[in-house]
Amino acid sequence: MTMSNEDLKQQAVELKIYGLQAHWHELTEPQVSWIAKWFEWEQVVRKQRGLERRLRSAKIGKFKPLVDFDWQWPDKIDQQAVHEFMQLEFLNDATNLILIGSNGVGKSTIAQNLAYQTAIQGHSVVFTSAANMLNDLAGQDGDLALERRLKYYAQPKLLVIDEMGYLSYSNRHADLLFEIVSRRYEKNSTIVTTNRPFSEWGEVFPNAACVVSLIDRLIHHSEILSIEGGSYRMKEAKERSAKKNKRKSKCKG
């Protein structure tokens, strides 16, 4: 589609090419034609650089794409719900996603795919383990430093808190998590992966007074996906070991 002179001039404004804007009236028709191509290149490059910047900031790490996910392995998983989550409609109304299941059933893999898709679609993302985030916040020296880190976790369109429940935390950590959840409440979506049902979160944060309020805020606007089954990582480890032993037996034979 051919863009009008005014449309191209507006693009110069959006791309912040100030010198060109100032001398736009001096341009001839042939010059405007090649400028249109230049703008196209510039937008492609900026879009790619923006994606690379978001992915670096997200810190998602290496992960298995959902296309390679073994949906037959878990004893229970709602595959349709996961595919619906991948459409990212939950971001529109700041809905949270809670992925509950034992170790190795694919919670983190699903969360990583959702984080990646969110970044691809142009949104800000932060992926972190619960331990890294809470220790990061608790380790800040002074109110100003803490406020900066609270904003870092509160502002992204999507925050993924991975592996909640594998460790126990102090009252201080519970208060910091409650602060993050409260700041994001009804504003931005949060994904939490956990191996503990909410009835056991009192063991994750022993004696913390805010646990009930924390859970209440987290699940008020949320979708909960429960996954049941054995560890896929353990399955792969056993398969690798079996193959290795088989090769050794052949060599001995």
Helices and strands (H and E) in the chain: how many: 11, 5
* pLDDT class of 54 with cuts at 50, 70, 90: confident
DSSP 8-state class, residue 16: T
Q: Domain extents for the chain? A: 5-56, 66-235
Percent of the chain with pLDDT over 90: 66
| Mean pLDDT for all residues in the chain | 88
Other Cβ atoms closer than 10 A to 12: 17
Q: Which residues pair with 162 in a beta bridge?
A: 129
Mean pLDDT on 233-248: 68
Residue 112: per-residue pLDDT:
97
Q: Provide the CATH number for the domain formed by 66-235 in this structure.
A: 3.40.50.300
- What single letter denotes the amino acid at residue 105? V
Q: Which residues pair with 192 in a beta bridge?
A: 98, 161
Residue 207: per-residue pLDDT:
87
What would the DSSP string read from start to end of 68-131?
A: G--TTSSSB--HHHHHHHTTTGGGTTT-EEEEEESTTSSHHHHHHHHHHHHHHTT--EEEEEHH
pLDDT in tens, 119-172: 999 999 999 999 999 999 999 999 999 999 999 999 999 999 999 999 999 999
Q: Is residue 57 pLDDT above 90, yes or no?
A: no
Q: Is residue 63 pLDDT above 80, yes or no?
A: yes
* pLDDT class of 18 with cuts at 50, 70, 90: low
| Least confident window among 31-35, 107-111, 114-118, 215-219 | 31-35
pTM for this entry: 0.79
Residue 28: per-residue pLDDT:
62
Residue 2: per-residue pLDDT:
62
Distance from first CA to last CA of the chain, Å, rounded?
69
Mean pLDDT on 14-43: 69
Q: Is residue 23 pLDDT above 70, yes or no?
A: no
- Say how far residue 10 (Cα) sits from the centre of its chain: 33
Residue 87: per-residue pLDDT:
97
